A and B are shown apart, each in its own frame.
Chain A
Amino acid sequence: MKREPPQSIADYGPLFFPAGMLLIFFVVPFGTMIAVSFFQRQEGGFYTPAFVFSNYERFLTAFFGGVLGFSLMLAVTVAICCVVLALPFTYLLSRLTRRLQVIWLVGLLSVLSLSEVIIGFAWSTLLSRTAGLSNLLVKIGLLEQPVALFPSFGAVLTGMVYQALPYTILVLYPAIVRLDPTLMEAARTLGSSPIRAFFNVLVPALRNTIMATLIMVFIFALGSYLLPQILGRPQHWTLSVLITDQAIYQSNMPFAAAMAVFLVLVTLGLVALTLLIGRKGEKA
């Protein structure tokens, strides 16, 4: 079937609905946020429309730079952990029978039905001194006495990876299932070990998918604000936690908006950079 390029405005019709939705639910709110980020904060009150840079000035300090840096580092770590875990898992999953695959996928989807609050509290119980996993280790004799494994960076990372892993698998799954099985067979016939074939054939063949998945998980993890609060110490709080504090508890909308705009810009910048590097790599 040959695709005709659109001739009249009516041919663009199907695009109007998504474009409208994007306008109403993304462009307008984001525009409002940018506008508010320049408003004048009224201490002890709300804000008045103005055009000032003081909200951005307040953000540009070593303190907030550190928090931003930690948030980005945390999101990158979560993304890498998720992909490293999900890639072999999804590959093995794709080689199971249809029936087993469905059971696994339903199980993974059910994790998505858990709210962040439930995930946070469940992990805080699992990692607690009084009722947590370390009690099992004591029973087996590996530990002298139970220890608290939270709040800590490891706990935050564990909670966030747990939350993002189902998404990662669901994004990787279609690409891996569609992958030509003869590629791996050829590698095997040519004498490659299964692990070698996995790294030398499967991973390069899926390079774009892996990149896209990393970016998706990174952005997903960047917005997390509940798990770092429940499972981490204050030094593990992400920028999103501080944005929430400003918006909800300090009613300082202009400063919260400025931080959010900054976070979005940095994120977009990093994504663009990643894509650029990826494209250069392809050309080479």
Chain B
Amino acid sequence: MIDHLIVLLVVLPILGAAVPPLASLRYDRVGWAVATATALGHAALAGALAWTVWTDGVVRYAVGGFVAPYGIELVADGLTILLVALISAVSLGVLAYARHAGPHENSFYSQFLLLVAGLSGMTVTGDVFNLYVFLEITGLAAYGLVASGPGARSAVAALKYLIIGTIGASLYLLGVGYALAATGTLNMADLSDKLAAAGYDSTLVLTAFGLIVAGLLVKVALFPIHTWQPDAYADSPDSVSAFISALVSTVSAYALARVLFSVFTVDFLEAVPIARQALVAVACVSIVAGSALAVAQSDVQRMLAYSSVSQFGLVIAGFAIATPLAVVGATVHLVGHAVMKGGLFAATGIIERKTGATTVGGYAGIAGRAPAATGAFTLLALAMVGVPPAVGFMGKWYIVLGAVNAGSWPVVAVLLASTLLTLAYFARLAERLYFAKATIAPEAVAADGGERVSTAMIVTVVVAAVLAVGLAAAVPVIDQLIDMTVFELMLQ
């Protein structure tokens, strides 16, 4: 049983996803219970796998008994278990939130579990084509979830996401094709040897790198290929916004790190400096443009969405610098951002239900009407800015240290400037929440009843806020996990 943990992590959510369609023939609202039972099982498996990797080192699994490099290999190392634990924790948090917030349809929870399966698969796979398959499962489930909103706007957002996301996945697949043509293998560990043998200056290898990275960057949503992301986050139901903003781009960025360090390796980045410079440049442009666009938004959810464009620029910059310090920083920020952004989106949902406020103007003076949610929102916002001792600070600090050590001064300048811009849009909100005069009269909300908010929803947001601070203490653990990862990083 213990050997099969890694494959069960993917199989269990798929099995769970097949139950609601059958169950809905008899029962109306059984989806939530099925999803929660499955997510609890997933969390138990994730915990057991994390323990196995932590004590015994890297776990490898040959699906169907076909040994690597011919069969599909699943691999769990330090970074994998971190991401798997994140997926489990966020799923449970979102389920607690969605119990009351909805959507309540059985089909929603089927798609939810398919998304969990896709994300888990992307995390544990050790095969670049298998990664594409799970990238598509993740994408298709996410398009469906975005479309589950009530209005036509969410359908349009989902269509946009579908078209751009499919282009991204196709670019990735094309890149995998080039890599296969150059080496004849799809296994990640095998590819890293054979790509080196094919020569890093070979046109096939360079094209494969460009296409794979471009495809994954579409999924991560860096500027200027982020255009699907604000609509998808802002026009979907709150539970979905919280879930996909916390996980989908995060796992795509993890996949990019996997491709950079486990497939192409740092030797490639050193042999082809232009590839690395281009990646750093795209990341820096994304940091600045994302922040600037976020400042310009009046809708709070869109502002949070553009903030993600900027924060993922930071993460990718950290990975592109590729020194151990910067990679630890990028990983801390990757996980920290997932918790913070998911919590922020969940908090906006509560604030909207309690006060009706959705815009920066509307947030004025409403702190007293939803104290827990606005308090958590402010705490999460400050953590995102990078106020110590929150996890946002730790991530940025390590990335900056890594950039200084590597002598990438432009990155250092952009990082510091972006923190100021982040402060500009989040401090503005916090100031309005607590010190401005209300623009929405309390009676206006009281008149139409103001939707009820469950305790579980508030607890979810508060737990996210606590984690945003508490995770800072986990940085040494993350440092150790990176050591246990099959990455080849640059020497300091």
Report if A and B associate in a common complex.
Answer: no
| Chain B interface (Cβ < 8 Å from any Cβ of A) | none
